[in-house]
Amino acid sequence: MDTLDKDIRELRKRLTDGSIQRAYRGIVSYMARLRKEFADQRGERSVSGLYQGYFDMTYFALSSDALKERDLKLAVVFNYETFGYEVWLAARNRKVQRHYWELLSNAGYKKHRLIEPSVGTDAIVTVVLAADYSMEEEHSLTKQIGKGVTAFERDIVSFLNAVDAR
């Protein structure tokens, strides 16, 4: 079994050449620029601050009137486990998260992956926006993520509106 001391020694060894720091700084810097892009489009009040994370995820949240009235939000996420960019439907709290997971599940939502609520899980629905990408093609990546977020938000709000109308 690995000990924390052993893990720290391994981390120190891997950090010596600086590539991990440069890569992490590049990811966080890109996410800050991406966040600003959304803030410029939607207004600063519709975009949260950037959460840098603990090598699990780096993200910022987006809100809109249609989501806010349901206590929902979107999270634009860099997921370190998959090393991809994703958008998540998330909720204000665990009770709201459970409610919308059940609502979507019972209503037969199948377009994107539903995530069953559990400890440490923040997403209700996840969508991979970019799994195979080049950070050196930032403009294309930003455009791809922007289109994906817009399409997902439109889809989820439309689905929820249809469920509400039943």
User: Could you tell me the residue range of the domain that residue 136 belongs to?
Assistant: 29-165
Judge whether 90 and 61 are in contact, CB under 8 Å: yes
What pLDDT is recorded for position 41?
A: 95
The mean pLDDT values, 10 residues at a time, for the chain of 166 residues are: 88 92 96 97 95 94 96 97 97 96 95 92 96 94 98 97 85
Phi, psi values for residue 62, rounded to 5°: -120, 145
What pLDDT is recorded for position 159?
A: 95
Number of domains the chain is built from: 1
Judge whether 39 and 49 are in contact, CB under 8 Å: no
CA 39 to each of CA 27, 49, 50, 114: distance values in angstroms, whole numbers, following the listed order: 18, 10, 12, 27
What pLDDT is recorded for position 120?
A: 86
> Residue 22 falls within a domain, yes or no?
no
> Residue 109 falls within a domain, yes or no?
yes
> Residue 1 falls within a domain, yes or no?
no
CA 149 to each of CA 2, 7, 13, 14, 77: distance values in angstroms, whole numbers, following the listed order: 39, 37, 38, 35, 11
**Single pTM value for the model:** 0.92
What pLDDT is recorded for position 1?
A: 65
Choose among 90, 148, 92: nearest CA to 121.
90
> Residue 120 falls within a domain, yes or no?
yes
Distance CA 85, CA 97 (A): 21
> Residue 100 falls within a domain, yes or no?
yes
> Residue 127 falls within a domain, yes or no?
yes
> Residue 4 falls within a domain, yes or no?
no
| Structure token digits, residue 105 | 């599940």
> Residue 71 falls within a domain, yes or no?
yes
